[in-house]
Amino acid sequence: MAMSKKEGRLLIVLTVAGLLIVYYLANWIIAGLIHSRPEVIVPDLRGRSLPEALKVLSVLNLGLRQEATRYDKDLPSGMILSQLPAPGLSVRTGRIINVVVSQGGEKIIVPDLSGMAVRQAEIELRRAGLMLGEVAPVYSVKFSRDKIVRQEPAVGSFADKDSFVNVSVSQGPPPPGIVLMPDFVGQDIASAENWARANGFSVERRDEPNMTLRPGTIISQEPVADTELSRDSRLSFIVVAVPEVGQLNYNFYYEVPQGPGNRQIRLLLMDALGEREVYNQSVAAGSRIELALKWEGPAKVKIFVDGVLVDERQLK
């Protein structure tokens, strides 16, 4: 039997009314359950670690959620900076407490200030988020007068944002009686040996393979340039080796990341003989490094760019 229009409208009205009754009844039951929960006082989580805060909240039957992180030089990384709801408020059990966690002080890569005038270095440091600290006069045979010779912290290291970088500024060559170590990096070993012989110093030398530089070229030296020498000082050099006939080398390649200016590239070879530096130079961004390496047993190369470990490559 067909339903009349009047009966159809009545059915719709009854259906809607039933749904409304169910909705309000469910809300009433849920509200009753919520309001039946006991109230607790929100504890102060600031300055606590996340595990410690979670332990405190679990006793009160409260939840924890990390909402964000933020740099803060006054609070170590992993500690809670702020929370919501605030400490001391009354909430019902089951409530979630949102927190912001400290990342510690922001770290800045220290730029290379060598060879700069003090004013130029101060501008460079401010641009990087650092400040110029103490300025000390030193003698130098590498840098001309009023140019920066050394810095602390060293180039490529990490420093807290707004911290100080101390510099030593050249006063020109030293007076008679003071001998400073010249900068022999990039020169032929013969020039360093001749200078050492003329000034009465002994030389130690270690040869290492390097396909980017001419054999006999000095890769690094100890002491570094402008170090004051005494009569018993010993000079040590790492020199590009002359390839042996029939020597088997592994050609290692690395593409320097793009970016402004030069990048400080440091390569460490790790094998059965231990860990040793095979490359450490400032090179143009985007350039290609090629090395001939020889190793014993399982080996890998650690690649550092501006003091940061960016890659590890297994050698096969």
Read off the pLDDT of residues 6-64 as tens digits, 9 standing for 90 and up: 666 766 766 766 677 766 666 666 555 555 678 999 999 999 998 899 999 988 999 99
pTM, rounded to two decimals: 0.52
Model confidence at 265: pLDDT above 80: yes
Nearest to 208 by CA among 248, 251, 242, 246: 242
For 136, residues 6+ apart whose C-beta sits below 8 A from its C-beta are 166, 167, 168, 169
* 3-state secondary structure (DSSP) of residue 196: helix
Work out the mean pLDDT of the chain and round it to a whole number. Answer: 86
Q: Tokens standing for 300?
A: 């890998």
- HSE, side-chain direction, 13 A CA sphere, residue 284: 3
Cα separation, 309 vs 302, whole angstroms: 7
Question: Domains of the chain, with CATH numbers?
Answer: 39-102 (3.30.10.20), 107-170 (3.30.10.20), 179-240 (3.30.10.20), 250-315 (2.60.40.2560)
Nearest to 311 by CA among 289, 282, 296, 295: 289
Cα separation, 43 vs 46, whole angstroms: 9
Cis amide leading into 85 (omega within 30): yes
Nearest to 278 by CA among 257, 298, 255, 303: 303
Q: What is the pLDDT of residues 131-151, one digit of tens each?
A: 999 999 999 999 999 999 999
Q: What is the pLDDT of residues 302-312, one digit of tens each?
A: 999 988 889 99
Q: Tokens standing for 241?
A: 């080796």
The pLDDT, as a whole number, for residue 241 is: 87
Q: What is the pLDDT of residues 275-295, one digit of tens each?
A: 888 888 888 888 888 877 777
Cα separation, 100 vs 75, whole angstroms: 12
Model confidence at 168: pLDDT above 90: yes
SS3 assignment for 68-135: EEECCCCCCCCEEEEEECCCCCEEECCCEEEEEEECCCCEEECCCCCCCCHHHHHHHHHHHCCEEEEE
Query: Looking at the DSSP assignment, which residues form a beta bridge with residue 198?
Result: none
The bridge status of strand 96-102 relative to strand 80-84 is antiparallel
